[in-house]
Amino acid sequence: MAGQFITFEGGEGAGKTTQAKMLADALEAVGVETILTREPGGTFGAESIRKLVLEGTDDRWSGMTELLLMYAARLDHVEKLIKPALERGAWVISDRFSDSSLAYQGYARDLGADTVRQVHDVVMGGFAPDLTLVFDMDVFLSLKRVEQRASEQDESLSRFDKAGQAFHRTIREAFLDIARRDPERVKIVDADGSKPAVHARILGKLTEKYPEFAGRLSGA
């Protein structure tokens, strides 16, 4: 099978990072070369931009500046890591990709979905994920997770973490709307539950898309 590009999306604290690693391990266990990456980030240049985007106060950047920084990082990420991996037949799992820009800058920063799509088309052309999993859970619970994680790891909250519940409710509704508009590519995963339970839900979505993995992946 040719390389496949899978993205994990959703609000803060939904467990995407942990679950992306669990899926990568499950695929590697059945012999699929899998690259695990994240956005913004994944390459040296994109990681440098990540610091600019995530650090500072919530009002540090306008929505459009934020969007352009994201796409500068994304282009470097795609050109230097994602496309080369796919071309050699590897699978790539990314913790966030373009749907995050649509949700965060298009919906929550009020740039509008059409504006974000226009920027995406100019920068990315027709490049898109093969499968996107949207992690959905109650905003209050997800933000509690974020606070707990920051406390346990002695980390500062990002600009987005500090944006407030109204902002994050908009993000949740944005991702649900994205899934409704593109049901073939975007699948919703209930992110509330134990790590094994959520992992099993993810494997279920994966085997719906790729039935050749049915019964082969750990937890499937």
135 and 15 in contact (C-beta within 8 Å)? yes
Residue 191 lies in a domain: yes
17 and 23 in contact (C-beta within 8 Å)? no
Residue pLDDT, tens place only, 26-70: 999 999 999 999 999 999 999 999 989 888 777 788 889 999 999
Helix (H) or strand (E) holding 71: helix 63-77
Residue 19 lies in a domain: yes
Sequential DSSP letters for 135-175 = EE--HHHHHHHHHHHHHHHT-PPPTTGGG-HHHHHHHHHHH
Residue pLDDT, tens place only, 202-214: 999 999 999 999 8
Which pLDDT score, from 0 to 100, does residue 198 have? Answer: 96
Sequential DSSP letters for 109-128 = TSS-HHHHHHHHHHHHTT--
The total number of structural domains that make up the chain:
1
Residue 24 lies in a domain: yes
Residue pLDDT, tens place only, 105-158: 999 998 999 999 999 999 999 999 999 999 999 887 876 776 676 566 666 666
Q: Which domain holds residue 14?
A: 5-212
Torsion on CA atoms 132, 53, 157, 102, rounded to nearest 10 = -30
Which pLDDT score, from 0 to 100, does residue 215 have? Answer: 87
CATH of residue 182: 3.40.50.300
Residue 218 lies in a domain: no
Residue 97 lies in a domain: yes
Residue 13 lies in a domain: yes
Sequential DSSP letters for 39-53 = SS-SSHHHHHHHHHH
Phi, psi of 8 (to 5 degrees): -110, 125
Residue 147 lies in a domain: yes
Which pLDDT score, from 0 to 100, does residue 4 have? Answer: 98
pLDDT band, very low/low/confident/very high, at 165 (cuts 50, 70, 90):
confident
Which pLDDT score, from 0 to 100, does residue 138 have? Answer: 86
Residue 154, CA distances (Å) to 48, 145, 147, 149, 151 in order: 21, 14, 10, 8, 5
